[in-house]
Structure 1
Amino acid sequence: MQPALNTYNKVYVDTTTNKVKMLLDLYEGAIRFVGFAERVLEARNIAKKGEYISRAIAIIGELDNALDRNAGGEIVRNLSSLYEYMIRRLTEANRGSNVHALREVKGLLENLLDTWKQAAQQLPDTDMAVSSGKNGMASHSGKKYGGIHVAS
């Protein structure tokens, strides 16, 4: 019985730890694409600007879709509103070639990434976990960070 429990625990930890890493990777990817968009905008490469902004918008949309709106309460509503704001600003940046909007969104994403990294570091390695919910991230009892439940 004990070997089966150990196997279950290892699979649980491996799976959920990967979800935290995936969350961090998504933020890093969005930051990277916004940075790329900023550079190509300054170089006047309009086609690439649109491509990179579209990729950043897609990632932010996925982050928003992953929120557990049934369990996250006000934190989830605020985070969702922030994601929607970032998408609007990126759309404005794309339409108007607005480098300031790109920098604003990049700063917001960097702040969120730093917050998530700090939250993840506060948990022991075996507990640094986000369990699967409706959308693949978020619905385990434990600490709540930004509307995604992190197991404690």
Structure 2
Amino acid sequence: MYAHPHNALGQYRNTNAWGATSGDRIQLILHMMDGVLDRIALARGHMRRKEVSAKGEAIGRAIRLIDGLRAALDKQQGGGLADDLEQLYDYMARRLAEANLRNDEKSLDEVARLMDELRDGWGQLALAGDPVAAAGTTPLRA
């Protein structure tokens, strides 16, 4: 259903190179975040069915998508917010790796909740057409 994470990141970079609107960039980021949430849901199902290989593959894809989100951060434009997001993305990736090793559904739930909050912020940007997205940063809820 979703593009390979490296393809999505490549599309994001190409969009920046060709000067696409911030709305297009927001949609690409939303697409990647949706992919993370979908992969976590798949991993949860595989975990419950004790499908070890499929669980690991789904979690691995979620981590690669998070890595793509991290790579898309613009530290020059985003400043401290981009640094904070980089740390949050790193935390999410580590929690997913732990969930994979320990069959820990609570860790999956935690990362899904965090990603869902970030995604909601990006969704608000999409509705508002906020230029913050052009900086490659993600809004956080207050």
- TM-score class normalised by the smaller sequence: 0.7 to 0.9
> SS at 2:69's partner residue?
helix
Which structure has more strand as a fraction of its residues? 1
Residue 72 in structure 1 maps to residue 72 in structure 2: no
Residue 52 in structure 1 maps to residue 63 in structure 2: no
> SS at 2:39's partner residue?
helix
Which structure has more helix as a fraction of its residues? 2
Alignment correspondent of 2:122 = 116
Once the two structures are TM-superposed, the CA of residue 18 in structure 1 deviates from its matched residue by: 2.3
Residue 106 in structure 1 maps to residue 112 in structure 2: yes
TM-score between the two structures when normalised by the length of structure 2: 0.77
TM-score between the two structures when normalised by the length of structure 1: 0.73
Alignment correspondent of 1:25 = 31
Deviations 1:1-40 (A, max 9, x none): xxxxxxxxxx95xx32322211110000000001100111
- Taking only the aligned residue pairs, the percentage that are identical comes to 33
Is contact 1:20–1:129 with CA below 8 Å preserved after alignment? no
Q: Which runs of 4+ in 1 moved over 4 A?
A: 127-131
Could you say which structure has the larger radius of gyration?
Answer: 1
Computed over aligned residues only, the root mean square deviation of the Cα atoms, in angstroms, reads 2.2
**Compared with structure 1, are the counterparts of its residues 59 and 103 closer, same or farther at alpha carbon in structure 2 (3 Å cutoff)?**
same
